[in-house]
Amino acid sequence: MTTENPMDIVIGGGSGDAQAASEFVSKARQARLEGDREAAVEILRQAVNADPSFVPGLFELAYELDLLGEEEEAIALYERCCDQTPAPVNALMNLAVLHEDRGDYARSEKCLRQVLDTNPNHGRARLFMKDVQASRMMFIDEEQDRDLAKRNALLDTPVTDFELSVRARNCLKKMNIRTLGDLLRITEAELMAYKNFGEASLLEIKNMLAAKGLRLGQGLEEQHRRVRKQVFDSLKGSGGEAMLGKSVTDLNLSVRARKALQMLGVQTLGDLAARTEAELMGVKNFGATSLDEVKEKLTEHGLGLRDLEF
């Protein structure tokens, strides 16, 4: 969640006592600094009672309640913040995250679109928009998705059950790709980077998947979303989550490394941390030197590339 001071955006205040509310907010911040979050919450409630439309009080109370797991009340308070015109960006962002956590992707996307309508280059909003859209794009139809057992059975189907050449099967076996689910989490670049795996085998596999309405890399959309979310959750409450929306152009990478990331559609640190070494190495002219450069830059920000999982 973002912790930017909403007073820098909009003060709010209507028929209530904005001055009293502001004083309560200041006291709550002091209580928080002293480590007494429960006292901070109670003081913030007094701020909201003093002026129900005072945005800093609403925002900070919502933030504290969210950290305490009181999502329902936090959402209601953030929505009251967003009733202001213009709606505070930080409140919209936090509300979008809460809606996504609850699986309400339509409302989450609505909040993010409000942010992007006014600031199309907002890094974190673009990052979360990808997460929300990926969550809504399921590669198995809705009936299969409702029937979890049926979906898992399909993904657990061994690749040996499909009509593939001996060469293609052997390559997949050596890469530890055992099931259809494993195959959907592999990209073309990762397959082509493997020794003895050629264009003929790639075309064979792509045709087999296409006949089933599937494609290589399809399973990575959800995986990338999950990895970005895990990284974000690990930074929740520390203020460091904003780093994930930082543009990769700010890393001052070499021209070769920058071009490789552009080819993969990587725009933010969150996007980059969701990629594997194999995905990067699969890009033409991207070598070990560029890989070390990218890994070093990520390490400086406390991040790393995703491990290839099966």
The pLDDT of residue 46 is 94
Res 44 pLDDT > 90? yes
Res 174 pLDDT > 90? no
57-111 per-position pLDDT tens digit: 999 999 999 888 889 999 999 999 998 888 899 999 999 999 888 888 889 999 9
Element (H, E) at 251: none
First-residue to last-residue Cα distance in the chain: 31
Which residue has tokens 């989490």? 185
Which stretches within the chain are classed as H helix? 18-33, 37-50, 55-67, 71-82, 89-101, 105-118, 123-136, 142-146, 148-155, 166-174, 180-184, 188-192, 199-210, 220-235, 255-263, 269-273, 277-281, 288-300
Percent of the chain with pLDDT strictly greater than 90: 24
Res 238 pLDDT > 80? no
Strand partners, 276: 306
- Phi, psi values for residue 54, rounded to 5°: -80, 105
Q: How high does pLDDT run on average in the chain?
A: 81
254-307 per-position pLDDT tens digit: 888 888 888 777 888 877 887 778 778 877 778 889 899 999 988 888 788 877
Q: How many residues does the chain have?
A: 310
Q: Which domains does the chain have, with CATH numbers?
A: 6-136 (1.25.40.10), 142-210 (1.10.150.20), 246-300 (1.10.150.20)
Percent of the chain with pLDDT strictly greater than 70: 81
Q: Dihedral of the CA atoms 11, 17, 21, 22 (nearest 10)? A: 50
Distance CA 108, CA 96 (A): 4
pTM of the model: 0.45
